[in-house]
Structure 1
Amino acid sequence: MKLTWFRKGTIYQIYPRSFNDSDNDGVGDLKGIIEKLDYIKSLYVDIIWLSPIFSSPNDDNGYDISDYCSIMPEFGTMEDFDELLKETHKRGMRLILDLVANHCSDEHNWFEEAKKSKNSPYRDYFHWRKPGPDGGVPNNWKSFFGGSAWELDEASGEYYLHLFTKKQPDLNWENPKVREEIYNAMRFWLDKGVDGFRMDVIPLISKPLGYPDAPDFGFRKIIEEVYANGPTVHKYLKEMNEEVISKYDAFSLAEGVGIDDSKAGLYVNEDRNELDMLYHFDILECTIVNGKFEEVSPFNLIQMKEIFKKWRDAVHRTGWIANAMGNHDFARMVSRFGDDNKYHSESAKMLITMLSTQNGTLNIYQGDEIGMTNISLNNIDQVRDVQSLNFYSENQLTKRYSEDLALQMINKEGRDNARTPIQWNDEINGGFSLNEPWLKSNPNYKNINVKNQNHDSTSILNFYRNLLKTRREHDVFVFGDFEEIEFDNPNLYIYKKTLGEDKIMVLLNFSSSEESYYYGSRSSIANGSKVLINNYDDLLLDDKSIVLKPYQGVILDL
């Protein structure tokens, strides 16, 4: 594999609404990001990914776009964006945008024109169907956010498809005019100097022929078997690459919803000329059985090892993936996979030690570098996430759970957990804004914030900085061949990585108790190794064993 800048780089995801509010209106903005570029640079990241900044009525916080070539006024102006791009490049970093091409907003001019007449030239920009045999919805498809995926347009008597909210009508990629509209929008930003796109739910752009009913199995399976990987998806992605991406020094990062490891190569193998890398969801969803809030299963380390291995094997030396344990759609990494209480610092450091040594491009979500945690919202009026609100509303009708339990479930898995404002200091609203933020700040900003950690050599923040600097200096972190050790150990994750003459060993304790790894006569580990990374001050080892403290993470240079 070519050691391209985007494969070796580290991506830092910014959720603009919650990053930094420069004008104190309670909403983060582009000037706020510019103010913090030196901070981002200090993290040794290479690529900034911005969640959507385009014009939007904000039904789904910008993932419902009403104009692909303008800036949401809340975030600033096109001049602000141009300055952000220039200042990012000046610091030696790259910038990618979040392209939402499966659907747009119902307030986009295309959809407003489409509704005016069945003969409108924009009608075929969307998926319209007549009522079903019973006079109701055309089929049994469900929205990702609950309820039917079809909404009746009373004026025409036809239904339009929306796999997300009813204000996010799906675009009809079968129409070449739609594809060219999207390609032109991509060219607009690439011509400005943008370095690529993270492509939201891109596997869903091709719909099954005839819109057949979904079989009666779990929703995750429906996504994989019905909504994603449609009959012409690869044709469109090849066309997109040929017509747009390949003509720039840019890359494409696909959100891999609905793609399992067996299909990964079809999207990202180098000889396919489709996408540059895939952002899979198996780690992020490893505790979710069949829905964000319901049927949540306990975290299982062996299952996580299996997930990393199957994806590593799926694209080994043929394609590329990105690795993430947190983003804007899931609860906080340390709250889900670590211990956000007694071993908060230790587990946050251990988790990034693991993630940074997996093969692939590393993705960090804003705030994880200081160990931001889940928030406990006191009532439904404080919830802002449309997915959580829809779950709560449906439960009001079904009465499946008590109101208190439904709110508890939202607090555990809801998307607002990841969207609370960044905690810059211990002042009002964590230094995010002088006025009330659009989403309540996590009260623990008094203790967990950038200012407190910035000059503390033992902090999570400075651990990230040291680790990412070391990762940049050692290609074996990113590209090394794996040798798993004690794979069936339920508490320890241990592996060696080799790239030419470079060898490292990674030892991770996922438990709250001391755990020992016995390596017997292989005394070179004790005698000939150097500690590159350690989230504790010491390492207990002798000529036969290593004792790892609770949530200890260590990288040895062998």
Structure 2
Amino acid sequence: MSSPALSGAVAHHPWWESGVIYQVYPRSFQDSDGDGIGDLAGVLARLDYIAALGVDAIWLSPVFPSPMADFGYDVADYCGIDPMFGDLAAFDSLLAAAHARGLKLILDFVPNHSSDQHPWFLASRSSRDDPKRDWYIWRDPAPGGGPPNNWISDFGGSAWEWDARTGQYYLHAFLKEQPDLNWRNPALRDAMMDVLRFWMDRGVDGFRIDVLWHIVKAEGLPDNPPNPHWTPAQTERDKLIQRYSTDQPEAHAIAADMRALADGYGERVLIGEIFLPNDRHARWYGAPDRPQVHLPFNFQLIENDWNAATLNRIIADYEASLPPFGWPNWVIGSHDAPRISARIGEAQARVAAMLLLTLRGTPTLYQGDEIGIGPVDIPPDRIRDPQHWRQPTLDIGRDRSRTPMPWDASANAGFTTGKPWLPLNADWPVRNVDAQLADSDSMLALYRALTALRRVTRALAIGGFAMAVGDSDVLAYERWHDDDRLLIALNLCAEPRQLLLPVGVRIAEVLASTLPSHPMDGTLHGDEGLVLRLERDD
């Protein structure tokens, strides 16, 4: 049995292909000093938990010095650590301790924009003649006055901010406190490549690259065309098609340069945050002789409806879009997306965990999803996300995905001795890590069982893949490696469905289930997912 998706694949599989990545949002993981905000010492204290989860790498959301206008995605120093989180010595201790446990550490690199408090921008803003003026994107007003073009910030409002001191506008794809860097300037490019060198010299194992498809803008900065399909239910940004403000050809050359630099350090992974249709998304892999990022993040399990027909289509289309040398990847949650249990309910979130950890490719888990944190109410006076306040009628705030990790039933769930910066999930006294460690049927137990199964089952870690026939509401696919053949069958509804086996095989073993074990009678129970080992029915 062979898979077209694996044609041209090399025999060697780097760690990030067979591995599982775990995203840590440091502000909300573990507080060590009682200020209500998580920190690096807190992550260090919980490394054994992460290792026992069975993951291979930690992706650490930004911990660089920052005014925190966008909670660290407004960087004021790319080569430091914000005192809120610790210092470089604390980072080095965390890195060494992670490596000692066999864990890789991936940093969040933010190349599209800096903070408006970064020394580079302060210099750029000081005078039109400053040497760093062109490190950012400045333009004169439009001929009739007002912003230079019609571009809209991703957070709403114009993407241009007027600077009275120098009489020009500067571009910001996000908040005005996040001015866009000018990657067409060679000196800026060199400085940012030096940032990557700084951290790789320190021993980090790769980078998740924030909004990579934004980093170059079209020459001349023409107006973006209107979106004829826009409705008021969409964000203001979506009034326009971002034809000239994102995904420019020159950005691919920069990604290739980043990859060449990373490859010079050995097996360091580059993960690109890229929201694009499949055909444009796949281009970010580059070419065999000029590769770009290893993993252009694939968000389709977050962005689409949760039903068998939709998932069957997006999985098949995504696999078909990949270049022969491209390795797939999947995510079901992040600090920017609604939590999976809040979106589809806890029963189906268990099915989603099985889907994530058995599809072909690299899975990324988001902290808290492994214990099934669901809807969290954030009182108006506790809302912190600037995106909410820019477009409050859309209810798109991200705070509900960033609430603190509940560790136990002690005060503040063991997260802090102070006041948590965001509220905890309301059910934290019973939904916490300690409670789930004591429950063999918990969501956490399921995640740990699935990651353990991936480690010992090459068919899941690096094997072939093909969609299979399933009953209505059932998503089914096969995985294999050498003579080991598996069937994954996922019931995406609450009612029983028939378990359909491929012709000529029978069930040899049930390797994993989202439900407590029960006799196999040819039926998938409601909300049930199964990983089955098959054998020939001679």
TM norm. shorter chain > 0.5: yes
Change over 3 Å in CA distance of 1:348–1:361 after alignment to 2: same
Preserved contact between residue 207 and residue 227 of structure 1 (Cα < 8 Å): yes
Are 1:323 and 2:330 matched, yes or no? Answer: yes
1:553 aligned partner? 529
SS in 2 for 1:551: coil
Q: Look up the match of 2:119.
A: 109
Query: Which of 211, 225, 243 is residue 215 of structure 1 equivalent to?
Result: 225
Specify whether residues 223 and 467 from structure 1 end up closer, same or farther in structure 2 by C-alpha distance, changes over 3 A only: farther
1:269–1:371 Cα change, 3 Å = farther
Shift in Å, 1:144: 0.6
Residue 43 of structure 1, CA deviation: 0.6
- Taking the aligned partners of 2:100 and 2:239, their CA distance within structure 1 comes to 45
**8 Å CA contact 1:25, 1:433 repeated in 2:** yes
Q: How far 1:268 sits from its partner (Å)?
A: 4.7
Shift of residue 540, structure 1, vs aligned partner: 5.1
- AA aligned opposite 1:524: V
Amino acid at match of 2:355: M
Distance across 1 between alignment mates of 2:334 and 2:287: 25
Instruction: Report the counterpart of residue 78 of structure 1 in structure 2.
Output: 88
Distance 1:482 1:473, change over 3 A: same
- Tell me the secondary structure at the aligned position of residue 507 of structure 1: strand
**Does structure 1 residue 493 correspond to structure 2 residue 493?**
no
Give the 3 Å change call, closer, same or farther, for CA 136–417 of structure 1 in structure 2: same
Runs (5+) with no aligned partner, structure 2 = 1-8, 231-236
Q: Which amino acid aligns with 2:492?
A: F
Q: How far has the Cα of 1:249 moved from its partner?
A: 3.3
Deviation, structure 1 residue 258: 3.3
1:365 alignment counterpart: 366
Q: Which residue of 2 aligns with 1:241?
A: 259
Amino acid at match of 2:77: D
Aligned with 2:429 (options 428, 441, 446): 446
Tell me the equivalent position of 1:534. 513
Moved more, 495-504 or 436-445: 495-504
1:22 matched to 2:1? no
Q: How many equivalent pairs are there? A: 516
CA contact (8 A) 1:143 1:149 kept: yes
The question of whether the paired residues in 1 share the 8 Å contact of 2:307 and 2:492 is answered with: no
Partner of 2:386 in structure 1?
A: 386
Percent of aligned pairs with the same amino acid: 38
3-state SS of paired residue (1:225) = coil
1:477 partner amino acid? L
Give per-residue Cα distances to partners, 1:255-307, cap 9 Å, x unaligned: 112353444144355443221111122322225xxxxxxxxxxx443222222
User: Is 1:524 the counterpart of 2:524 in the alignment?
Assistant: no
Residues 107-186 of structure 1 correspond to what in structure 2 (within 5 A)? 107-186=117-196
Q: Note if contact 1:205-1:233 (Cα within 8 Å) is conserved in structure 2.
A: yes
Deviation of 1:348 (Å):
2.8
**For residue 276 of structure 2, what is the aligned residue in structure 1?**
258
216-225 or 505-514, which moves further after superposition? 216-225
Q: Against the structure 1 CA distance between its residues 49 and 88, is the aligned structure 2 distance closer, same or farther, given a 3 Å change threshold?
A: same
Give the CA deviation at 1:501.
1.3
Gap change, CA 1:473 and 1:317, over 3 Å in 2? farther
Q: Give the match for residue 479 of structure 1.
A: 462
| Secondary structure, aligned partner of 2:224 | coil
- Asked whether the 8 Å contact 2:224–2:241 carries over to 1, the reply is no
Q: Which of residues 418, 428, 443 in structure 1 aligns to 2:401?
A: 418
Aligned to 2:302: 284
Deviation of 1:445 (Å): 0.4
Residue 295 of structure 1 is matched in structure 2 by none
Residue 356 in structure 1 maps to residue 357 in structure 2: yes
Aligned partners of 2:300 and 2:369: how far apart in 1?
Answer: 19
CA contact (8 A) 2:153 2:159 kept: yes
CA distance in 1, matches of 2:273, 2:48: 28
Residue 89 of structure 1: how far off its partner (Å): 0.3
Q: What is the Cα deviation at residue 325 of structure 1?
A: 0.6
Report which stretch shifted further, 346-355 or 220-229.
220-229
Paired residue for 2:487?
Answer: 505
Once the two structures are superposed, residues 408-438 of structure 1 have per-residue CA deviations (whole angstroms, 9 ceiling, x without a partner) of x53xx53112100001012222211121111
Residue 262 and residue 503 in structure 1: after superposition, are their counterparts in 2 closer, same or farther (change >3 A)?
farther
Distance 1:26 1:37 in 2: 20
How far does residue 243 in structure 1 lie from its aligned partner after superposition? 3.7
- Report what 1:296 is aligned to: none
8 Å contact kept, 1:46–1:92: yes
Deviates more, 1:4-13 or 1:310-319: 310-319
* Paired residue secondary structure (1:188): helix
Structure-2 change in CA distance of 1:475 and 1:384 (3 Å): same
Structure 2 vs 1, CA of residues 153 and 221 (structure 1 numbering), >3 Å: closer, same or farther?
closer
The secondary structure found in structure 2 opposite 1:186 is: helix
The answer on whether the counterparts of 1:234 and 1:267 sit within 8 Å (CA) in structure 2 is no
Taking the aligned partners of 1:280 and 1:471, their CA distance within structure 2 comes to: 20
Q: Look up the SS of the partner of 2:79 in the other structure.
A: strand
Distance (Å, rounded) in 1 between the aligned partners of 2:452 and 2:361:
16
1:60 aligned onto 2:60:
no
TM-score, normalization: structure 2? 0.92
Aligned residue number for residue 293 of structure 2: 275
In the aligned structure 2, how far is the partner of 1:59 from the partner of 1:446? 31
* CA pair 468-221 structure 1, distance change in 2 beyond 3 A: farther
266 and 11 in structure 1: CA distance in 2 versus 1, 3 angstrom threshold: closer
Q: Secondary structure at the match of 2:300?
A: coil
Q: Which amino acid in 2 is paired with 1:480?
A: G
Per-residue deviation, residues 454-485 of structure 1 (Å, max 9, x unmatched): 12211111111111011111121133333323
| 1: CA distance, partners of 2:14 / 2:371 | 29
Residues 311 and 475, structure 2, Cα contact 8 Å, conserved in 1: no
In 2, Cα distance between equivalents of 1:430 and 1:223: 44
Contact 2:225 2:241 in 1 (8 A): no
1:261–1:310 contact (8 Å) kept in structure 2: no
* Backbone CA RMSD of aligned residues: 1.9
Structure 1 partner of 2:233: none
Of the candidates 323, 334, 337, which is equivalent to residue 341 of structure 2?
A: 334
Q: Could you tell me how far apart the structure 2 residues matched to 1:171 and 1:59 are?
A: 17
Q: CA distance change for structure 1 residues 244 and 547 in 2, over 3 Å: closer, same or farther?
A: closer
Q: 1:186-216 CA distances to partner (integer Å, 9 max, x unpaired)?
A: 1111111111100001111111111111111
Q: CA deviation at 1:539?
A: 4.3
Q: Distance in 2 between matches of 1:262 and 1:101?
A: 20
Between stretches 316-325 and 424-433, larger displacement belongs to: 316-325
1:229 to 247, 265, 276: 247
Cα distance, 1:513 vs. partner?
1.7
Change over 3 Å in CA distance of 1:519–1:249 after alignment to 2: closer
1:523: Cα distance to partner?
Answer: 6.7
CA contact (8 A) 2:225 2:243 kept: no
- Determine if contact 2:200/2:206 at 8 Å carries over to the other structure: yes
- Residues 374, 6 of structure 1: alpha-carbon distance in 2 compared, 3 angstrom cutoff: same
Q: Note if contact 2:14-2:267 (Cα within 8 Å) is conserved in structure 1.
A: no
State the match for 1:427 in structure 2: 410
- The Cα shift of 1:127 comes to 0.6
